[in-house]
Amino acid sequence: MDKLKIKVAIQISKSAEKVYEAIVNPEQMKNYFISKGSARLENGKTVYWQFPEFPIDIPVRVKTIRPHNLIHFAWDASSGEELMVKIALEQLSNGSTVVRVEETGMTNNEAGLAWLTGNTEGWANFLACLKAWMEYQINLRRGAFDFMVSGNNT
* pLDDT tens digits for range 116-148: 999 999 999 999 999 999 999 999 877 666 666
Do the beta carbons of residue 48 and residue 134 sit within 8 Å? no
Please, which residues bridge with residue 91 across strands?
Answer: 97
* pLDDT tens digits for range 56-65: 899 999 999 9
Average pLDDT (7-15) is 98
d(CA 58, CA 40): 14
Do the beta carbons of residue 133 and residue 126 sit within 8 Å? no
* pLDDT tens digits for range 94-108: 999 999 999 999 999
d(CA 44, CA 73): 9
d(CA 85, CA 102): 6
Do the beta carbons of residue 33 and residue 22 sit within 8 Å? no
Q: Is the pLDDT of residue 50 over 80?
A: yes
Question: In the prediction, which pLDDT does 1 show?
Answer: 60
